[in-house]
Amino acid sequence: MPIHWPTERVVVTGGAGFLGSFVTEELRARGATQVIVPRFRDYDLVDMGAVKALYRDTRPTLVIHLAARVGGIGANRDNPGKFFYDNLMMGVQLIEVGRQVGLKKLVALGTICAYPKFCPVPFKESDLWNGYPEETNAPYGIAKKALLVQSEAYRAQYGFDSIVLFPVNLYGPRDNFDLRTSHVIPALIRKCVEARERGDRQVVVWGTGAASREFLHARDAAAGVLDAAERYDRSEAVNLGAGFEIYVRDLVPLIARHCRFQGEIAWDKTKPDGQPRRMLDTSKALAEFGWKARIGFEEGLAETVAWFEQNRGEIT
């Protein structure tokens, strides 16, 4: 069934979060007028009763599931059980109740953490099952990958239309800049800006710098999510990425330059690097629903640093 945004009732779980804020903006830009953002205080999606209540109260035609229990290496290492259970139960129950009530379509987000630790670069969707994920984020990655199995099973048995997208690391304005739970780019931006203001001579960074990463601006990711919702109707995994790889040893001085921090970079080699390399093959998204990333990395970094500096008073 075709998606016609002005007539859809769209529930966006996690819609008040980082990526969710861009998805809801993009929805409205495409003509959606009925966008519902459930809040945790009203609907704890780990609880099946709350999931049923959400469907009953909001009567969606389409669900975009972005809510996740997520964080950087440290947060994953400290909360493996919670990250596994909460992410698994939220996704599984949203799909199951969606199937029960005859939901038109569900779009769920997986994660690059689902890929094997030693995966050939660039990561192809066909590589997802060819090894175990990097240990520090395996519980989160496997919980998300389970939704792909459920999507395929429910399409085969029930004809339920759900898709699961696998985005690379996201960044951009409104990101999580809490050093206890943030990912690498917002953490480095905050460290560099605050070190500059204090006059510190160095910034300490986890790991050796030998790992590589790929980063996708959240605005590009939001467009990809909605393009897939409109034009992709299979339960095979699809990557969302920017199509480039940067080593952390090169990323850190780049961010420092954008933050105008001129001190030294000190590497804490007692801390883990995480997955050795990350870069996605994004050709399937282009072929299947015509999506590709458009925001240049340095352009996106400059925007993110400027947003952080302008909004620091509201960030804890």
Q: Which residues have a catalytic role annotated?
A: 140
Q: What is the C-alpha to C-alpha distance for residues 60 and 185, in angstroms, rounded to an integer?
A: 35
DSSP letter at 120 equals P
Q: What is the C-alpha to C-alpha distance for residues 138 and 178, in angstroms, rounded to an integer?
A: 22
Q: What is the C-alpha to C-alpha distance for residues 245 and 151, in angstroms, rounded to an integer?
A: 30
Q: What is the C-alpha to C-alpha distance for residues 260 and 161, in angstroms, rounded to an integer?
A: 48
Q: What is the C-alpha to C-alpha distance for residues 69 and 134, in angstroms, rounded to an integer?
A: 18
Position of tokens 């302008």?
A: 310
φ, ψ for residue 263, nearest 5 deg: -80, -165
Cβ pair 8, 61 in contact under 8 A: yes
Q: What is the C-alpha to C-alpha distance for residues 216 and 245, in angstroms, rounded to an integer?
A: 11
Rounded alpha-carbon distances, angstroms, from residue 123 to 32, 105, 158: 33, 27, 30
Half-sphere exposure (Cβ direction) of 306: Cα atoms closer than 13 Å: 6
Query: Among candidates 219, 254, 261, 256, which has minimal Cα distance to 240?
Result: 219
Cβ pair 80, 99 in contact under 8 A: no
Q: 306 CB contacts (<8 Å, ≥6 apart)?
A: none
DSSP letter at 261 equals -
Q: Is 94 exposed, middle or buried (0-12, 13-18, 19+ CB in 10 A)?
A: buried
